[in-house]
Amino acid sequence: MAISSLGYVIIEARDPAAWRTFGADVLGLMAADSPDGGVRFRMDERPFRIAVRPGETDRFVASGWELPSLEAFEATVGALREAGVTVEAGSRADAADRKVHSLVRCHDPSGNQLEIYYGRVYDYKPFVSPAAVSGFVTGNMGLGHVVLPAPKVEETRSFYKTLLGFGDTDEMRVPIGVPDHPGLALYFLHCNNPRHHSVALFEAEIPSGLVHVMIEVKEFDDLGRCVDRCKKLGAPIAINMGRHSNDLMVSTYIKTPSGFDVEYGWDGWQVDWSDYVPTKSEIFSLWGHPEMNGG
């Protein structure tokens, strides 16, 4: 009953039009209007991977996590309820809106909202990048990863491992400049696919509700051209290019209209879990990137 991938993310924005420009012109995603007045972004064969809905605040709303079958879905929902987690069943309209067969909503111990679902609905429209991106690394590995705020970090880590089937991949400590303080925990967890991590948990409060979301391009030139587009269009580069130590991703971080970052990456490590041993990394990057970047 392990989660198989990060299927989608939901974002609230005061200015969805700004997101449309950012997602299409900067990131190279395929934009489409949504019934709620927002915008949705396609990056592969799925109808959407990122949904931006209009609202009174700029914030991250929820991450959508896929299970491989109805049986796995029912077992996971049962385990959550048995553990005392409040689980809200999504309606048929909710499922139709998310392009899935069925979904439920719950919160992890740090208050992050999850949508857990199974089944896929396709419209078979081809993905065409408006910025000529060659493609994104998705498929059964999902859209990428999210780094979530987790003030109750140990309890939250246990939730993902015990109830959702995630496994430990790596651990880091983020220094805070206080003598003898061990630093804030940053845990990287993988689900049932080769992506190095699909979620990371950072021991801190984050006003926007998210540290960053990562999307991965297929070619190095796609990454370089995105950096050029940022400079041309004035999209703020929050963190310069570098290669991470733990997942070997070459990436840059771009500030979104909602305040959190998009990690725009290439060449992430796809891990064979059969012989993997969890690690603790003492540096964030092999080259480039600032020393403290939140994973």
Query: What's the pTM?
Result: 0.97
The string of pLDDT tens digits covering residues 95-138 is 999 999 999 999 999 999 999 999 999 999 999 999 999 999 99
d(CA 187, CA 222): 29
Confidence band of 290 (pLDDT split at 50, 70, 90): confident
Quote the tokens at residue 237.
Answer: 């580069």
Given this model, what pLDDT does residue 183 score? 92
- Rounded Cα distance between 219 and 204, Å, is 33
pLDDT digits (tens, 9 = 90+) for 138-187: 999 999 999 999 999 999 999 999 999 999 999 999 988 888 788 999 99
Show the CA angle centred on residue 194, arms to residues 193 and 195, nearest 5°: 95
Distance CA 155, CA 162 (A): 10
Q: Where are the alpha helices (DSSP H) in the chain?
A: 16-21, 70-82, 92-98, 153-164, 220-233
- Write the pLDDT tens digit of every residue in 54-86: 999 999 999 999 999 999 999 999 999 999 999
Q: Which residue has the higher pLDDT, 179 or 8?
A: 8
CB 127 within 8 A of CB 143: no
Q: Per-residue pLDDT averaged across 258-273, rounded?
A: 98
- CA 123 – CA 45 distance, rounded (Å): 8
What pLDDT, on a 0 to 100 scale, did the predictor assign at position 180?
78
pLDDT at position 219: 98
pLDDT digits (tens, 9 = 90+) for 224-250: 999 999 999 999 999 999 999 999 999
pLDDT at residue 292, as a whole number: 47
Kindly list the structural domains of the chain, giving each domain's residue range(s) and its CATH number in brackets, ordered by start: 5-118 (3.10.180.10), 139-288 (3.10.180.10)
- Burial of 209 per CB tally in 10 Å (0-12, 13-18, 19+): buried
DSSP letter, residue 273: G
